[in-house]
Amino acid sequence: MTDRLTIRRPDDWHVHLRDGAMLAAVAGWTARQFARAIVMPNLTPPVTTIAAAAAYRDRIIAALPAGTAFTPLMTCYLTDAADADEIARGHGEGVFTACKLYPAHATTNSAHGVTDIFALAPVLERMQAIGMPLLVHGEVTDREVDIFDREAVFIDRTLTPLVKAFPALKIVLEHITTAEAVAFVNDAPDTVAATITPQHMLINRNAIFDGGIRPHAYCLPVAKREVHRAAVRAAATSGSPKFFLGTDSAPHGVARKEAACGCAGIFNAPIALESYAIAFDEDGALDRLEGFASEHGPRFYGLPLNDGTVTLERATVAVPAVIGEGDTAVVPFHGGETIGWRLVD
Ligand code: NCD
Ligand code: ZN
């Protein structure tokens, strides 16, 4: 039995670091675990310009102790008004690593999202030409569609034609939750990859209704049936370079989760690698965690692998029920539970 595992320093290819007091409260958790992170742009207002992304990047770095070795990789939030020149210039200047597509009204702060992705063809053509990845929140927003079907319907209605229309565009289907998404990504060209969160490897939709309504198990895309969890987990542990780590850590203050209409999002940053280790370990695939966490992502993005390592060890760890205070008090994933892995400092 492996009790200690040392892997190349990993990256988080999908995280919400927020802004202001919440940024200050959460940024260190991600920087402790990861060398780089793709930072989601769904602030209020969203990050749509080079200036806004550069300023946000500065605020992230300022929120960390001086000298912290952490590189935030910034994203541009696509809107119907997205401008190909601004996006290409931002990519060229090293400010925008990728663009994020939120279908309008799909999730938190996505009111500004895109109503018709095909209307953005000039932007997508430019991204394709310069090798800039498109990161997709893959759910339809049609309220007639059952919430558990919205990812699969998005794949049929939008993603399949999108991949056909832009065959050289790098596309990451973010936080996949279904067997349909796994099959789609596996069958797609090498330009298409997916990120996988720890929660979608560890919980199915029963967790949201376990003896009562469990707001801290609610995120978007919502966890699906067990058969889907198993398919997503098999993809993550398969060793395929198309699947890589993206936590989708999405902190919301306790009061915003425990409410009549609670926000979507699971805060997993404090125990992200530990959570992945639990799943890979249970599946006898710890030898594949390094590829998933530290190699497949940079290779897809065309970025160098990190130097240095992190070490995980088998240990009994009590995860706090709440992390932080006041408005930044957040219930973490596994809050109040005991887990079997620890990231060694
Ligand atoms: C995210 C958030 O809170 O910003 N929530 C979530 O459940 N994942 C938004 C998102 O990425 O969908
Ligand atoms: Zn997200």
pLDDT of residue 27: 98
Q: Which of these, 219, 193, 192, lies nearest to 205 by C-alpha position?
A: 219
Distance of CA 320 to the CA centre of its chain: 23
Strands 338-344 and 243-245: unpaired
Ligand nearest to the CA of 14: 2
Q: Which two tokens stand for residue 277?
A: 């280790």
pLDDT of residue 115: 93
CB burial class (10 A; 0-12, 13-18, 19+) of residue 283? middle
Give the position, in ligand 1's atom list, of the atom nearest the Cα of 265.
7
- Residues touching ligand 1 (Cβ under 6 Å) are 16, 42, 107-108, 137, 219-220, 248, 250, 264-265
Angle at 93 between CA 88 and CA 97, to 5 degrees: 65
150-178 pLDDT per residue, tens: 999 999 999 999 999 999 999 999 999 99
CB burial class (10 A; 0-12, 13-18, 19+) of residue 258? middle
Distance (angstroms) between ligand 2 centre and the Cα of 314 equals 29
248: annotated active-site residue = yes
C-beta separation of 39 from 75 below 8 A: yes
303-336 pLDDT per residue, tens: 999 999 999 999 999 999 999 999 999 999 999 9
Give the position, in ligand 1's atom list, of the atom nearest the Cα of 264.
7
Strands 4-8 and 309-318: antiparallel
Q: Which of 187, 248, 281, 283 is catalytic?
A: 248
C-beta separation of 324 from 330 below 8 A: yes
Give the position, in ligand 1's atom list, of the atom nearest the Cα of 251.
3
**Which is it for the CA torsion 287, 236, 15, 170, positive or negative?**
positive
Distance (angstroms) between ligand 1 centre and the Cα of 308 equals 30
Residue ranges in the chain whose pLDDT is less than 70 = 108
pLDDT of residue 106: 75
Distance (angstroms) between ligand 2 centre and the Cα of 40 equals 7
Q: Which of these, 108, 87, 85, 109, lies nearest to 98 by C-alpha position?
A: 87
